[in-house]
Structures are given as structure tokens and as C-alpha cells.
A and B are shown apart, each in its own frame.
Chain A
Amino acid sequence: MPRPPLTAFATVQAITLRAFSPKNKHLLITSGVQISQDFYLQSFVSIASLRSKVLTSNYQCDGFFDEMLSIPEGVRSHYRQFVESFNQLSDLEFDQKRRGIDVEFLRQGVTFNVYGNSEGTERIFPFDLIPRIIPAGEWETIEAGLIQRITALNLFLHDIYHEQRILKEKVIPSYFVLSARHFRREFVNFPVPNDVYIHICGTDLIRDGNGKYLVLEDNGRCPSGVSYVLENRRGMKRAFPRMFEKIGVRPVDTYPSELLKMLRFIGPQGVGDPTVVLLTPGAYNSAYFEHTYLARQMGIQIVEGRDLVVLDSRVYMRTTKGLQPVHVIYRRIDDDFLDPTVFRPDSVLGVPGLINAYRSGNVSLANSIGTGIADDKVMYYFVPRIIKFYLGQDPILDNVPTYLASEEADRKYIMENLGQLVVKAANESGGYGMLMGPSASKEEIEEFRKRIEADPRNYIAQPVISLSRHPTSCDGKFEGRHIDLRPFILYGEKPYVMPGGLTRVALKKGSLIVNSSQGGGSKDTWVLYGNE
């Protein structure tokens, strides 16, 4: 009998059609795999002659910065080649390619898990076929800015865990660092291998109304999303092989080998051929797909806490042939859960004794312990000063203007303008713990007012940035949707920035929230060899 794709496709279609008939609503809800309805609506509504309309008057920029189109010039020069090729596709072909990729992702289980559900619901990360394109010149600036930033952050982390010069010279008030939730006193004066703290960083960039790139936040703990970059690219290459050839897009698929090279580089001294493993919290973690994906691409073992054991301050994994030594751990577990004997005693994800082995220099961790402080949104406020202090340079990439609730003047301003600002908790991520002033209800605003008063150290506020938009196929036509960009930076022997990154797109009309847990999707990001 014929095997997939036809069979699999039929299956998907059946699930989908069912999903929309009210009578069968419960079927979808009770099934273990919930499938985003929007995602499927997009996939199956017949997409009639929409491509040619991308650039017609139907498409509205609505006063936002549009990545592809400028008024009145039309298509920006770095999108021209793409649009030309794209317009040669028939509607049917485009439709088939979309379906092809969607079905492919479902079959492969390119999914993320959503928390707050009893048995962990898996979802497909919605993918939009229109790539976001960055010309070489623009990318050079981004790359330089990211390298500058990670370099400065590593110097900063080293400093605050050693001499604390930046505090002594009062560039940053000591109070902010010492009160940070993720400042690890236990690791003051601990020499991390090669003095590198953040080995893997995923910095979120946005573009404002003028198209200027701004840093939104640094993710220096366990940034995720890189597997979607790689999978998206694979899907796009299969769908549009000729375009890649013609347009000249820089490859992203060397990332796993760069990552492995970096991980091997940080191996403990005296170990010639270090064994590298990826430590995952397990199959129910939201990024489990990514963990297995990266481990497979690098050809390393993926381990859970229970697979590791520490003997005599050395780490081993339990294999069918007995215990085998482990030298480098790419951990996708937060500091708090790494070792129940040192951090949270209730952690079942960690490895008892791991920190002892780490302290003894017998095992290396990426990222190092204590990097969470660089993710603190209050510390973010100080990054421009950090860059200036350690490198004597002005930041290449600017921050979003930020107000600290713990500063008297700033707090006054925040409290008076809550309805216009975005308020963020200093230590939350994933779009949680946030107040979007303009769209919040009165109750929500008052709730945040109370929270800020109770704990000002834990809050910052920023003006609402009108994120740039990008043509995105929505319910059978193209519309502008807000996007951001998460590039990935590795810091081993020398820094490496993957050319591209994860472009996240807020699929809901008008929404500024791109997080996958809150209705975001993604796009492939093309960094061109040239400028056109």
C-alpha cells in the first residue's frame, strides 16, 4: 500500500476537518496532541491567487516599519530577488509547498510542549513560508553588536564573581547585583574554565518604527529555539531549492558542529578527547524536541539526571557496559535544579554531587553557573554601561529605553504612565509576568501597581515599541504581522554568530507577543551573501 506522504496527509486532514465541527469538539480536546486550529485553518483554506497580491494595494503597512515594503518605493532591494522568484510560483504550487511543510512538521513531531496541562500537550510550532531577509551590510552590524555584547557580559560576570571592580567603582550600584535572584554567592572566586560564563546566548532583537535594531533581552541561561531555525531551513530548502541557489543565502546548518567544537574546547584540562553530553530535564520539558535534535545533530548522548552519577568528584553515565566518564555537560537545566545537594533539594532532575565535581574541575558546564544574573532585566538596563566600562566602546546595538521601578524618579514616571508602558518582572521569561499597558484592563493595571509598590527591585518598564512587521500569510491572504529576531551566539575559542536566527512572528492580528507559548509562529531568516 502507498505509504506517506499521501496516507499521512489524509490523516491530518481528517483530524483537522473534525476539529472544526462543533459536534466533535471534544475529540480534539481529549486527544493527546492538540493541534493549533489557526495553524490548520491557514493550511487548508484554499489559498487563491494570493501571492500576486502581496504587493498590490491590498497590503497595508499601517504606519509600521515593514521589513519587505517601503512606501512609496515598494519592495526593498534585498527582497527583490525573492519576490521575483516567488511570483513565478503558481498558487497551486505555493499551496502544495505549504501543506508539504506543515505535514512534514507534524509527522516529524517538530513540536514543543505546553505547560499547565496534566500530561504535557504537544504543539506544532506554526511556520510561515515567507522568509525574513537581512542584507549582508545590515547583518555585519548586528553581528558586531552581538559579539560586543557577549564579550562585555562575560567580562562583567567574571568581574562580579571576582574583583567586583564595576561595583567598587560605582558604575552599577552594588545593591542591584547582590540582590539579584540569580547571583550565586557560592561561586564567588570560583575559576570557570577559560573565564567564559556564557557560552551560548540567544539575544532577542527587535526593530522599532524606524527600522532601527534594538536589544530586547539577553538570554544567557538556556536559550532555546535553535532547532526550529535548523528545521525551518530544512523545510524551506526542500520547498524552494532553486531560490536558495539563485539568491545566495548564508547557511545555518553548521551550527551543531560549531556548538560541538565549542563544547569540546571547554573540556577539563588534561582530557584529550572529552566526552560531551546534553543534560535534559526529560521528555516532558517544553524544549525536549530541541534537546534530542541537537544531541542527534552533534552525535552526542542525551542524558537525564538519573543517567548520571558522581563518584569521587567525577561524573559518569550509566551504560549497559557499566559506568563511563563524562567531561562536558551541555546542560539544558537551570542552575536551581542542577544538584539537589547544593541548590533546590526537591529537584529530581539534577545529579547529586555534580557541583562538587564541577568545583573540582573534573567536569565543565555550558553555560557556567551564575549566568542568570545577566538575564535579570534590571541588569539589562546597565548593559550599555557595562560595555563602556569593560570595552571602552559605545554599544553598537542600543537597548530599548528602560525605567527602573526601584529608582525614585523612574518609579514615579512608571506609576503615572502604567497605561502606556510595558512592565516586566525582572526574572521572568517566555512572555510571562508581563503587563502590556495599552491593552491591559483596569484591574490588571491596578494589580501591577500593587506588585511594583511591594517589590520595586523586581520590575522595569519600557515604552511600547511598535515592532517591525513582515508580510505573513494569514487566512488566505498576506498581512503584516509583528516580528522579532533571536540570533544565537557561541563563545568558545572565539565568538561565533550563526548567520540568521529565529524570527518569531505574532500570528494574532495586532499582537506584539511572539512567544510560542502565546500564539507565536516562526519564519526562516535569510542572511544574504550580498546586499541585494
Chain B
Amino acid sequence: MLSRVANSLYWMSRYIERAENLARIMDVNMQLMLDFREAGSNRSDAHWLPIIQATGDETLFGEFYGEVNSYTAQEFLTFRADNPNSLTSVIAQARENARMVRDQITVEIWEEINRLYLFLRSSRAREMWDSNAPEFYQEIKLGSLYLQGLSDATIPHTEGWLFMQSAKYLERADKTTRILDIRHTSLPAKGRPEKPLDPHESLEWAAVLRACSAWDAYRQIHGADIGPVRVSNFLILSKDFPRSVIFCLAALDSALRNISGVQPGRFSNDAEKHSGRLLAEVQFSSVDDIFNHGFHDYIDLIQQRFNQIGEALFDAYIFKPFNEGEETLQQQQQQQ
């Protein structure tokens, strides 16, 4: 497979996953705000600011808007074309990458990405968002899920698909930690939180679960008993929940090893080394280890490790083949 193609497939897949997560975050938190009406606009600031922070684009936000409120936050994360991580930008980038590899993906996948793109650019999208935002975000979420179904059902599960899988799980693991981290300020820097939750906080932690589509799965295990420790345990360490960090890491690790064909427990490049090592570390951690280390710090740390895996993957499959050619070429020219 061409390196450039692998790169495009990888980013197409990441952007789609990113869009879905963004849509869920927005949807859930907007609905949550409806419960906070009586609490006044202070609560609104406090509610949306961490969400902007979690996307990592706080500075950019400050350049466009004076205050953080429900409207500016959503506008920024949904339609703002000059925010590279807004829903509109992310879908446009997914489509741009898909366009580069149109010959490699199926017609069905291309058409769905194109449909999402055209939808977001249409005035209907704005109207729908104004009149019925949940329906709007639902449209994006369903688009992403439909695309995942299509890539599983219409693409041969070979190299290209494996790059898409790696991208999806890496992005998903990262987003799960970011969603989880949104409410970190209510937690102690180190150690388990002891303070009982106020009703608002309970709702906020429930929103974290919903934003990861984890509400139903969580309730089957823990009932309606919501708390930061259980939620963290579930979203980081649940072996079976498909959006938990550990689940995503295992899927990522397996996709990476399938690309190179290397045995479990071994590695043939840095991406496999980093992912295998991180997976093992998380597998051999308990939720107490996480809180003892310091919740926010831990999240920060594994996010850095995700980036490291992404970079190593790029080096191994995309960058290196380019450079190898370049170096040999230069040597040749020197010899001539």
C-alpha cells in the first residue's frame, strides 16, 4: 500500500471518530445544561469552559469570543470554520482525506462521507441545529456509526482497513480520556475522592458516561450509583466496553501487529513497542493506582503516550519509506 494512501486512510478514520465524539460531547452537555437553567449563567461558564479546555483549543476560543456560554461554546465546536477541530472542519478534513484515496475506499463509504460533508455545509444543518440540536448531533453520530459499519462490512480486512482501525481506536482512547478529564477539577490532585457528590456533580458524571455512550453499559453493572471512581474504573479499565481505554488499546495493539504480522508479546517497530507497553501497564493497573498517582496527571500521561504511539506509527509506515528513498537518492547523486 502506498504510504500516502495509508496516511490518508488513517486520518480519514481518525477524523470521523473525532467528529462522533465531539457530537456526543456537545449533545450530552447541552442537554445537561437544560437541567441547570435555574443555576444561572455562572454555572454555564463553569460547565462549558472545561469542555473547551478538553479539546485543547482554549486560546483559539479566546480569540473569537468574549465569554464562554452555551451558545459560543457550541458554535465554536460545531460550525466555526477557522477552528480546525470544529465538527464542520473535522468532517471536511475527513472528506478531503477520503478524496485523496477514493480509489481505495468503497463507493458506499465515500458517499456517506460526502453526504455528511454536504449536510454540514447546507443551510439545513444550521436550521436543524437551531430548532432541534439533539437531532442535528444524532445525524453526525449515526453518520459515524454507519461509516464504521461500512468499513467493517465493505472493505477487505487487510492493511488499509487495519490502518483505519488503528486510527479509530487511538482516537477513541484519546477522546475517552478527554471526556473523562472534563470533570477533573472536582477531584483531589492525588488520592481517592472522599467528598459526597452534590446533585449537579452527579449529573455531570452521568453526562461523562453518556458522552462515551457508556450509560446503559455502566448501569447494567453498577446500577444508578454514579461516582468518579466507578466511572473512571469503567471508562479506563473495563475490558469489555468498546470505548474504554483498555479495550481501545488492546484493539489498537492487535491492529498494529496485524499490519506487520508480528507475534503477540513482540514488536518490530516503535509503534508496536509503545502500544504493547502501554497496554501492559494499563492492564496491570487498578483504579486505586490511578487515583494514587493523581487522576488528572495520569490522564495527561497516557494522552502523551497515545501521541507517542501515533508519531511512531507515522515514522514507521509513512515517513520512513519517504526518507529511505530520499537518502538513497542523495547518496546516488553524490556518487555520480
Contact status A14-B4, CB under 8 Å: no
Asked if B72 is at the interface of the complex by the 8 Å CB criterion, the answer is no
Kindly identify, within residues 1 to 35 of chain A, every residue whose CB is under 8 Å from any CB belonging to chain B.
1, 3-4, 7-8, 10-12, 14-15, 18, 24, 27, 31-33
A283 near B99 (CB under 8 angstroms)? yes
**What's the Cα separation between A108 and B114 when bound, in Å?**
7
Given the known interface contacts A11-B115, A303-B2, the answer about A312 and B332 at a Cβ–Cβ threshold of 8 Å is yes
Interface flag for A296 (CB, 8 Å): yes
> Is the CB of B110 closer than 8 A to any CB of chain A?
yes
Complex Cα spacing A1 to B118, Å: 19
Residues from chain B with Cβ under 8 Å of A261 in the complex: none
CB contacts (< 8 Å) of B100 on chain A: these are 283
Q: Point out the residues of chain A lying under 8 angstroms from B111, CB to CB.
A: 4, 107-109
- Of chain B, the residue at the smallest CB distance from A321 is B1
Nearest CB of chain A from residue B1's CB, rounded to whole Å: 5
Whether the pair B324, A322 counts as a contact (CB closer than 8 A) is: yes
Chain A residues with CB under 8 Å of B121's CB are 15, 31-33
A307 to B318, CA, bound (A): 11
Which single residue of chain A is at the shortest CB-CB distance from B97?
A283
- Residues of chain B within 8 A (CB-CB) of A14 are 122-124, 127
Determine whether the beta carbon of A8 is less than 8 Å from that of B102. no
Cβ-defined contact, B321 with A323, below 8 A = yes
Cα–Cα distance between A296 and B102 once the two chains are bound (Å): 8
Query: Which residues of the partner chain B approach A31 to less than 8 Å between Cβ atoms?
Result: 121-122
The distance in angstroms between the C-alpha atoms of A31 and B127, with both chains bound, is 15
For residue B62, CB closer than 8 A to chain A, the reply is no
Decide: A318 near B118, CB < 8 A? Known: A1-B142, A15-B124, A306-B4.
no
Q: How far is the CA of A337 from the CA of B92 in the complex (A)?
A: 29
| Contact assessment for B119 and A320 in the assembled complex, using a CB-CB cutoff below 8 Å | no
Q: How far is the CB of A290 from chain B (nearest CB, A)?
A: 11
Which residues in window 1-35 of B have CB below 8 A to A?
Answer: 1-6
Chain B, Cβ-Cβ closest to A32: B121
- Cβ of B262 < 8 Å from any Cβ of A? no
Per the bound structure, the CA–CA distance linking A33 and B91 in Å amounts to 14
Whether, in the assembled complex, B329 has its beta carbon less than 8 Å from a beta carbon of chain A, the answer is: yes
Of B123, B124, B321, which one neighbours A318 at CB under 8 angstroms?
Answer: B321
> Distance (Å) between the CB of B88 and the closest chain A CB?
10
Instruction: Check B107 against A108 for contact (C-beta < 8 Å).
Output: yes
Determine whether B201 belongs to the interface, using a CB cutoff of 8 Å to chain A.
no
A260 interfacial contact with B, CB 8 Å: no
Task: Report the minimal beta-carbon distance from A409 to chain B, rounded to whole angstroms.
Answer: 52
Question: Which of A109, A303, A310, A318 is in CB contact (< 8 Å) with B110?
Answer: A109
B4 closest partner in A (C-beta): A307
Complex interface: chain B residues within 8 A of A318 (CB): 2-4, 321-322, 325
State the CA gap A319–B102 with chains docked (Å). Answer: 17
Does A89 sit at the interface, judged by CB under 8 A? no
B residues within 8 A CB of A306?
Answer: 4, 322
Interface string of B98-110 (1 = CB under 8 A from A): 0110110001001
Q: In the complex, how many angstroms separate the beta carbon of B148 from the nearest chain A beta carbon?
A: 14
Check if A108 sits within 8 Å of B321, measured CB to CB. Answer: no
Interface size on B, residues (CB 8 A): 38
A4–B142 CA distance with the chains assembled, in angstroms: 13
Contact A316 B119 (CB under 8 A): no
Partner pick for A311 among B4, B127, B325, CB 8 A cutoff: B325
Residues of B within 8 A of A27 (CB): 123
A323 in contact with B118 given A14-B124, A109-B110, A283-B100 (CB within 8 Å): no
Instruction: Check if B325 sits within 8 Å of A316, measured CB to CB.
Output: yes
Contacts A107-B114, A311-B329, A317-B2; A296 near B103 (Cβ below 8 A) = yes
B94 to chain A, nearest CB (A): 14
> Which A residue's beta carbon lies closest to that of B115?
A8
Total number of residue pairs linking A and B with CB closer than 8 Å: 106
* Chain B interface, DSSP helix/strand/loop, else mixed: helix
Q: Is B311 an interface residue (CB 8 A)?
A: no
**Alpha-carbon separation in the docked complex, A312 to B123 (Å):** 55
In the assembled complex, how far is the CB of residue B177 from the closest CB belonging to chain A, in whole angstroms?
28
A residues 386-436 in Cβ contact with B at 8 Å: none
Asked if residues B3 and A309 are in contact (CB atoms below 8 Å), the reply is no
A102 contacts chain B at the CB level, 8 A cutoff: no
Chain B residue nearest to A306 (CB atoms) is B4
> Are B124 and A311 in contact (CB-based, < 8 A)?
no
B142 neighbours in A (Cβ, 8 Å)? 1
Instruction: Point out the residues of chain A lying under 8 angstroms from B96, CB to CB.
Output: 283
Which B residues touch A303, using CB under 8 A? 2
- Among A8, A295, A352, A353, the most chain B Cβ lie within 10 Å of the Cβ of A8
Q: How far is the CA of A206 from the CA of B281 in the complex (A)?
A: 72
Least CB separation from B159: chain A residue: A320
Q: Whole-angstrom distance from the CB of A305 to the nearest CB of chain B?
A: 11
Contacts of A320 in B (CB 8 A): 1-3, 6, 159, 259, 317-318, 321
Per-residue 0/1 for B150-172: is the Cβ within 8 Å of any A Cβ (1 yes, 0 no)?
00000000010000000000000
**Cβ of A302 and Cβ of B118 under 8 Å apart?**
no
Q: Assuming A8-B115, A11-B119, A109-B114, is B99 touching A322 (CB within 8 A)?
A: no
Residue on A with the closest CB to B146? A3
Q: Which residue of B lies closest to A7 (CB)?
A: B115
Q: Let me know if B326 is at the binding interface, CB within 8 A.
A: yes
A289 to B124, CA, bound (A): 27
Closest to A12 in B: B118
A289 to B98, CA, bound (A): 12
Within B317-336, the residues touching A (CB, 8 Å) are 317-318, 321-322, 324-326, 328-329, 332
CA–CA, A12 and B124, complex, Å: 9
Q: Give complex CA distance A371, B99 in Å.
A: 30
A319 touches B114 (CB 8 A): no
Q: How far is the CA of A288 from the CA of B122 in the complex (A)?
A: 24
A12 to B114, CA, bound (A): 12
A301 at the interface (CB under 8 A from B): yes
Given known A11-B122, A14-B123, contact A319–B3 (CB-CB < 8 A): yes
Given the complex of chains A and B, what is the CA–CA distance between A459 and B317 in angstroms? 51
- If A108-B107, A304-B4, A309-B326 touch, whether A11 touches B159 (CB-CB below 8 Å) is no
The residue from B5, B115, B123, B318 contacting A107, defined by CB atoms under 8 A apart: B115
In contact, A292 and B102 (Cβ under 8 angstroms): yes
Tell whether A75 is near chain B: CB-to-CB under 8 Å.
no
A247: interface (CB < 8 Å): no
Please, which residues of chain B bring their CB within 8 A of the CB of A301? 2, 5, 103
Tell me the complex Cα distance, A27–B119, Å: 13
9 closest cross-chain pairs (CB), A and B: A14-B124, A309-B325, A292-B102, A296-B103, A318-B321, A295-B103, A320-B317, A31-B121, A18-B123
B residues neighboring A (CB under 8 Å)? 1-6, 92, 96, 99-100, 102-103, 107, 110-111, 114-115, 118-119, 121-124, 127, 142, 146, 159, 259, 317-318, 321-322, 324-326, 328-329, 332
A-B contact pairs, 21 of them (CB 8 A): A11-B115, A11-B119, A14-B124, A18-B122, A24-B123, A31-B122, A108-B107, A108-B110, A283-B99, A307-B2, A309-B329, A310-B329, A312-B332, A316-B325, A317-B2, A318-B3, A318-B322, A319-B3, A319-B321, A320-B6, A353-B329
> Residues of A with Cβ closer than 8 Å to B?
1, 3-4, 7-8, 10-12, 14-15, 18, 24, 27, 31-33, 106-109, 283, 288-289, 292-293, 295-296, 301-304, 306-307, 309-312, 316-323, 352-353
20 more contacts with CB within 8 A, not counting A306-B322, A307-B2, are A11-B118, A14-B122, A15-B121, A15-B122, A15-B123, A27-B123, A32-B121, A33-B121, A106-B118, A107-B114, A108-B110, A109-B99, A288-B99, A292-B102, A295-B103, A311-B325, A311-B329, A317-B2, A320-B6, A320-B321
